[in-house]
Structure 1
Amino acid sequence: MTDSEPWPIAVPRSPLDDKLGVEITEQSAQRVSGRAPVDGNTQPYGLWHGGASAVLVETLGSLGAAAHAGPDRHAVGTELNVSHLRSVRSGWVHGVATAIHLGSTSAVYRIELTDDDGRLIASGRLSCRLLG
């Protein structure tokens, strides 16, 4: 996905997601997948930044919650947890958010981030409140 292409559903794009180069490849209430380049998203030692992991985890989970909420409601994050498990210096970080709870007022996602070789680099969980 490029900056000129829309997100899969009508959800505003975040300038922070654009800065990170986030690309969404799949989106539904049950599952969202996407990726971001390591290049440009590193900490001073050349490793993928933990904050970039948090942004990617929250973006993927929030897009799933927005798909679940539908066009008349909004999803807002209420709790974010990310465990950093492995470092990565190049390539892409790939993420998959999987719904673990889809309720009438909340949605919860498990998000796993992997490197280009499929190794787990971070595991996260995002809870969202559905408003509207």
Structure 2
Amino acid sequence: MNSFKIGKTEFGIGKISLSIENDLLTLEINGNDDVFDELMEDDGCEWSWALYPPRIYFRSVPYSGEKIVIDSDFLDHYETALYMMEHNDFTGVLEVTDSCIEIHGLVSIAGKTSALSIVAERTPA
């Protein structure tokens, strides 16, 4: 099941870009534009201030095939964030398998900390 969830809000999965070359991982997962547009139709949506769906990214992160733990030290050394109108730090775990990409943790957006859960199925190349 594909899911991009912040708190209780499901943003769906949009474009996914993943490359692992020379033991460096570059990953970007975007929320789904259509799901986001539907959410914005509700005037009471807690994300009504956003102009587009969230995206999470990892740029040139050392990768050996193991789970990656994202903590404050990791964030100090690597270009990684959840972007939703600004770059937001998050903590948690990234796991990439042959069939799936999973990210679970916490993200702080506009001073509020929320659960973060992303599950994206990988399709064979």
TM-score normalized by structure 2? 0.36
TM-score normalized by structure 1? 0.35
Please identify which structure carries the higher helix content.
1
